[in-house]
Structure 1
């Protein structure tokens, strides 16, 4: 099983790999297989986020500028190029901006190419501490909202959220923009982070495995 991994804003792929090391180990043990996680850098140099520079070296990168539709479409193109050059992938996983990008990409593909099932690109998505995604089909960007938009992400999704996170309300909105029958939610109770407590890691892994099982990947 292969998973494309997108880091948070103002970090990089190596940082995300370190942040998810315990989670990957737990997933491999629970799934009884060696999953391949493909970590990819954003292309925009950014300021480091949340004091990350105290613990990790740069460069500090992002995938897009929040208020630029053109920038978001460039990030979509990056994902399409990765699928073409390094795919196929079974799933996509993102933290913070990376998760919002993953969700935005999936919704964009569903609405722009309705005759091309999203499942041909990714069969599941794991979204960690990410706010509700962007609609960049017009000249300016806007946030998708489940009360205003009919679109839903059709593939199984696993949502890791934190009730102390400033983005928590947006994380719940993103969850509602997915197929309610196949959207698994786990609240780790913390802030904007990927927890490393062994019990919490196990519960995150359980939620992700339920998502993978719904996608019938293994």
Structure 2
């Protein structure tokens, strides 16, 4: 039984960044070491809304590009957040069950709220609770920089106890927000890398941290 747990791939729902797509995130993650990727069963979802403005990666990757939800220019008011969660739940019901969630950028902000949203029972109630989160270039709703959607208002009312892995870039435009997010998680794993707002390559040290995170998740299964 122990070997079965160790050999079982972790099934992960992957949420892409703002105005990108699931296929773009998949291409970015493909640069991670193959032995690591072989331990992960990653499923890439597209956001429910077509990009409502120019995508930063237009000309680098092919469209279409998607958004998970929208906001005002100050990032204080959010729109279509509840509808986004409904679409994610539908996807999870169809393609799951999922062990955990990985998010990058806008997808990471969304992923950080899911454990608390499920704990509070305000959404994603038809699917099993996620057992872990992986946050790349993430930030927290409800800070001086970002408002918070109504459904997520209690997501960080108590520490999030499931395992979490945070990937933080030294030159990321939201590095400080990513560091501040760590306070909301109990015993977070952290991978620091020298790049910016991107999915980084993983060196030997980062890969080891990732393997240790996987071992912790599997020990709790």
Is 2:152 aligned against 1:152?
no
Is 2:140 aligned against 1:127?
no
TM-score (norm 2): 0.79
Q: Which has the higher helix share?
A: 1
Is 2:82 aligned against 1:73?
yes
Counterpart in the other structure of 1:4: 13
Report the Cα distance in structure 2 between the residues aligned to 1:209 and 1:109, rounded to whole angstroms: 26
TM-score (norm 1): 0.80
Counterpart in the other structure of 1:19: 28
Alignment of 1:1-218 (within 5 A): 1=9, 2-23=11-32, 25-28=34-37, 33-46=38-51, 47-50=53-56, 52-67=57-72, 68-112=77-121, 120-133=128-141, 135-137=148-150, 150-179=157-186, 181=187, 183-196=188-201, 200-216=202-218
1:186/1:35 Cα in 2 relative to 1: closer, same or farther (>3 Å)? closer
1:128-164 deviation digits (Å, cap 9, x = unpaired): 01111364226xx8797xxxx5422221000000121
TM superposition shift of 1:208: 2.5
Root-mean-square deviation over aligned CA pairs: 2.7
Report the Cα distance in structure 1 between the residues aligned to 2:118 and 2:153, rounded to whole angstroms: 16
Contact 2:120 2:154 in 1 (8 A): no
Kindly tell me the number of residue pairs found equivalent between the two proteins: 199
1:203/1:62 Cα in 2 relative to 1: closer, same or farther (>3 Å)? farther
1:150-182 deviation digits (Å, cap 9, x = unpaired): 422221000000121110111012221111x2x
Give 5+ residue unaligned stretches, structure 1: none
Report the Cα distance in structure 2 between the residues aligned to 1:6 and 1:133, rounded to whole angstroms: 17
